A and B are shown apart, each in its own frame.
Chain A
Amino acid sequence: MMANVKNLRNTYPFPALVGQETMKLALILNVINPALGGVLIRGEKGTAKSTAVRGLAELLPEIKVVKGCRFSCDPDDPEGWCLECAAANPEVESRKVRVVELPIGATEDRVLGTLDLEGALTEGRRRFEAGLLAAAHRGVLYVDEVNLLDDHLVDVLLDAAAMGVNIVEREGISFSHQAKFTLVGTMNPEEGELRPQLLDRFGLCVKVEGLSDPDQRREIVLRRMTFELDPAGFSARWRQAGRDLTDRIDAARKILKQVKVPEAALGRAVDICLALGVDGHRGDLTVIKTALTLAAFEGRTRVEAGDVDRAAELALPHRVRRRPFQEVRFHVLDGLKEAGKR
């Protein structure tokens, strides 16, 4: 797969990133729980946004897929199989979850899929050629500079993200397949904002800033230089840290289903959203799911009050209705205190 960034050699190891803990946490939480709905990373140029996303590919777990299936069907979910898998007797294979990159200059037919040229010309047959949305099913769809994506691409992306299904009714083709993906976007807010509907599709939103601590800055430069001189050696040195993190993620994935949410935590999440004037209900739900995942990441099977507050800081910055002259707020609970005062 052309756009599969997993295969790029010389990926800077994720654990070797200095600082940017919130961004790293948000990405890890999405690996543990794909139902969180992805993350939007906002920040200036050169703040390791893309490096982090590319490094993420190494941390992704293995999944079972139907061997050779273009749509990565889940062998354990026969109800959701594509027509090809339903017609055949599928074999199972295991592979890593993929990161598929959606380039902002992509054409609509590459994203959605299109009429297969070869089949049409040589056999006069109308066949579906799968696009990026098919490749991203059960994986991560990564859009660098997501705020510069053309409007019509945003529209079709929203359509698929909303349903988890890509319905293709174009160019004589009538086809649909599952397309559930974790949407990861990076953007530099100086170059423009995102449309509200797309913004809402990101589960979490984090801000990255250039680090101001001189020691940390020195460490970044040092590591970067070491990496560029000897990528293989550098990666080898960080392999153990990577394995530790992967193990922790695996452990969290295993207990995620057992995590319980006490009533008080639900109430807290709703109160926060109401106090901050968050539109709709996706905010509440994402706060709770994030709190669940945080608990699992820390090896607990019960959500604690602090989890909800930390989750709110990740899940609500882009959902709080902004007033003019107000930047996206990344410390939403401060806003809550203000609201309480009023």
Chain B
Amino acid sequence: MSEGKLGFPGNNQVRHSLNRIYPLAALVGQEPMKTALLLLAVDPGLGGVLLVGEKGTAKSTAARALAELLPALPVVQGCPFHCHPENPHEFCPHCSKLYSADRNPPAELKPTPFLTLPLGLTEDRLLGGLDLESAIETGRAELQVGLLGLADRGFLYVDEINLLEPYLAHLLLDAVEFGQVLVEREGLSVRHPARIAMIGSMNPEEGPLGPQLTDRFALAVRVKGEDDSAARTEIIRRRLAYEADPSAFRRSWFDETEALRRRIVAARERLTGLSLTPAARQLIADLVRRAGAKGHRADLALARAARAKAAWEGLGEAGEDQVAAVADPALAFRRAPNKKGRVIISQSGKVSPPPAQHFETPYIPSAPARFFQVVSAGENGGVVEVFRVYNPNEAFDFQTPTGRRERGPRDKTGRRSARQSKTKRGRYFRSSPERLGRPVALDATLRAAAPHQIARRGPDSPALVIRPPDLREKVFRHKTGRLILFVVDASGSVGRFDRMAEAKAAALALLSEAYRKRDRVGLIAFHGSGAQVLLPPTDSVELAGRLLEDLPTGGKTPLAEALLKTHQLVRVELARDPGLTPLIVLMTDGRPNVPLTPGADPWRETLHLAAHLRRDPRLRFLLLDTDSGHYSDYTLVGYLAERLEAPRLTLEDLRRGRLEAWLERLEK
């Protein structure tokens, strides 16, 4: 028997996991994360919850734990999706063909689907595609339902969602937003429901998730490890007990788990007809306006989450307290990038001290913690105050105006140069009938050939007759964007005159730019006796930002070694991806005083290496002159710029926005 029929994936995934779940009730602390997940369970219509946090903070444990708390669904018997028997106006094509509005369809109870979406996913399994076997046997085009269809009225979990192929991520989040999928492929044309609650989790160190994608989530929670030692001890104790005997551990938490389950059911019943008080509506409008969040997703998310919160608390209506309780997860990640405000509500209008737990935004590294903290929404609604937070990077905030972003050869993810590679490297995520000599996508080819088998079958033909027009090729995504390599002088001479602070600010600003363009970044720093690759090329602009902020300064200037390290690193990168055109941003005041070879002239060595680097036409350079101007006759920067054929910008130029103009030119 074929596995496609035997192993219906919903079933299969559940088999492995449901009796091994770590109970949500047994998770120590992590209240904001637990609340967000439970609110999604109460109102799956919220759409999605994003969990952002470092490794090992129980993100995926919590997300998976939700699966066993979800109440069973009444569904139409035999429906390939999960149509609700009492909702005829939302029927899928299958159900609306069989049951007219006046005829009650047979109903049954099914467990709520909870599916995990793997990173190795291909498009046909996400959207669904032609059912190969029935096409070959009967010649009829039938849909092999994809994960989006299988998860209808259920939950989809994506771990490491920032690593999901961007094309697939868009298909996924579009479907979640519109609640339906349109399959137009291999002669099929089916529109079917996909009412899905999404849970995504990610570690920001592995790279960002684009703003267009994050915005699709209703709530985002910043997850942190517990730093209280009693709590941490308890975490280990419970985890050891669980691993020693999962069933016994689960039994010991049965009552708590059952209580959560019942509370979800009760909250769902209360949710219908639950409304927001006028004051709560007003607060939502205020908060969203202050946040500068664009579009109406923020209002909607805040309102829905507040209602779910009220239902969860057993209340009859949602008031300001409920809005306040969900303001941080609903708004913190949506605030406009140029809003440097925090909203603090207090009865007296007093400034409250900065909160201990920041929502450190993982998205833009130059942004220090800015978030919404509701101190106390008093009985009278409280006073809303906005405070500007001084940002040392402000002078360099050269955000690209919106109009210009649309230009240039980018795909819709905003990634400037991530490309569908013409080679066979990278991840296979979809197929194409275009013949470019890429490897054959067997599955897609077979699907293309399948419907014709009955017509092609002769007495002596093999089981399958494939003709050239059936051939489909694999489309790979090779995960390299542009590369910006920062080579930063952290020597004592730069450290003087507070130049380093400004240089770091400039580099951080460049990093935000890299973030917006989804470039990869790398970091080489040099001081004292050596140069070091602090960050090999990575997607994680955040990690680069953190390293840069922590960068100590002092000591001599081994510029020659820095250029050598640059050369070595760039050579490896170019070997991996010959199409790469790395941009090397060299930040120095140009006073090398450590030779590579003992006794040699460091100036001469540096210029020699620079000329050598210049020989590869793929490399481009930018020189940021961090010199204070005090000893300009003593610096090498001018000569270096000449050898590297690099534009030379001073910190003064940066402040005047000349870097922006230069980057603009670079793109053309």
Contact = CB atoms under 8 A, between A and B. Distances in A.
B118 A197 contact: no
Contacts of A136: none
B442 A281 contact: no
Interface string A257-277: 100010100110111011000
Contacts of A215: none
B19 to A, nearest CB: 6
Contacts of A175: 3, 7, 9, 12
A10 interface: no
Nearest to B476: A152
A192 interface: yes
A342 interface: no
A257 B241 CA distance: 11
Interface stretch (A47-55, A109-117, A235-243, A330-338): A109-117
Interface string B514-528: 000000000001011
Interface string B315-345: 0000000000000000000000000000000
Contacts of A274: 227, 229, 232
Interface in B382-433: 425-428
Given A120-B442, A155-B163, A169-B118, A270 B236 contact: yes
Contacts of A193: 536
Contact of B9 (A156, A176, A195, A267): A176
Contacts of B428: 108-109, 170
Interface in B430-483: 441-444, 446-447, 450, 453, 462-464, 477, 479
A222 interface: no
Contacts of B119: 155-156, 158-159
Contact of A121 (B243, B444, B464): B464
A261 B240 contact: yes
B232 A165 contact: no
B2 interface: yes
B379 to A, nearest CB: 40
A168 interface: yes
B116 interface: yes
B56 interface: yes
Interface stretch (B106-114, B122-130, B583-591, B603-611): B122-130
Q: Chain B interface: which size bin?
A: 35 or more
Interface stretch (B261-269, B370-378, B545-553): B545-553
A229 interface: no
A172 B225 contact: no
A165 B540 CA distance: 27
B236 A288 contact: yes
Nearest to B427: A152
B136 A162 contact: no
Given A175-B3, A193-B536, A323-B550, A284 B120 contact: no
B525 A324 contact: yes
Contact of B2 (A126, A168, A284, A288): A126
Nearest to A287: B236
Contact of B442 (A112, A115, A165, A177): A115
Contact of B462 (A117, A121, A155, A271): A121
Given A162-B159, A197-B203, A124 B55 contact: no
A270 B232 contact: yes
Contacts of A109: 428
A280 interface: yes
Contacts of B133: 124-126
A255 interface: no
B77 interface: no
B56 A279 contact: yes
Interface in B523-557: 525, 527-528, 532, 534, 536, 538, 540, 543, 547, 550-552
A169 B453 contact: no
A123 interface: yes
Contact of B125 (A174, A283, A285, A289): A174
A340 interface: no
Contacts of A120: 132, 442-443, 446, 464
Contact of B16 (A123, A151, A178): A178
Interface string B216-248: 000000000111010011011101100110000
Contact of A270 (B4, B17, B229, B462): B229
Most A CB contacts (10 A, CB to CB) among B56, B136, B235 go to: B56
A111 to B, nearest CB: 8
Contacts of B536: 192-193
Given A83-B3, A279-B56, A159 B120 contact: yes
B71 to A, nearest CB: 23
A142 interface: no
B635 interface: no
Contact of B235 (A83, A123, A167, A284): A284
Interface in A278-306: 279-285, 288-289
A266 B206 contact: no
A172 B463 contact: no
Contact of B233 (A168, A171, A267): A267
B130 to A, nearest CB: 9
Interface residues of A, number: 72
A179 to B, nearest CB: 10
Interface in A116-138: 117, 119-128
A46 interface: no
A336 B17 CA distance: 39
A172 B124 contact: yes
B10 to A, nearest CB: 9
B16 A165 contact: yes
A192 B447 CA distance: 42
Nearest to A195: B206
B572 interface: yes
B2 A170 contact: no
A170 B442 contact: no
A62 B592 CA distance: 61
Interface in A143-172: 150-152, 155-156, 158-159, 162-163, 165-172
B54 interface: yes
A168 to B, nearest CB: 7
B442 A159 contact: no
Contacts of B540: 196
Contacts of A112: 120
Given A83-B7, A150-B425, A197-B203, A167 B136 contact: no
Contacts of A280: 54-57, 225
A168 B13 CA distance: 10
B442 A176 contact: no
Which 6 residue pairs are nearest across A and B when measured between Cβ atoms?
A280-B56, A282-B56, A171-B443, A169-B125, A170-B122, A152-B427
Interface of A: 35, 79-80, 83, 87, 108-109, 112, 115, 117, 119-128, 150-152, 155-156, 158-159, 162-163, 165-178, 191-193, 195-197, 200, 257, 261, 263, 266-267, 269-271, 273-274, 279-285, 288-289, 323-325
Given A119-B2, A151-B479, A163-B116, 20 more contacts: A108-B427, A109-B428, A115-B442, A120-B443, A124-B450, A156-B118, A159-B119, A162-B159, A163-B159, A167-B9, A169-B122, A169-B125, A171-B441, A174-B4, A176-B12, A266-B236, A281-B56, A282-B56, A324-B552, A325-B525
22 contacts: A79-B19, A119-B2, A121-B462, A124-B450, A152-B479, A159-B159, A162-B159, A165-B16, A169-B9, A170-B124, A172-B125, A172-B132, A172-B443, A173-B3, A173-B125, A174-B7, A191-B572, A193-B536, A197-B55, A281-B225, A281-B232, A281-B239
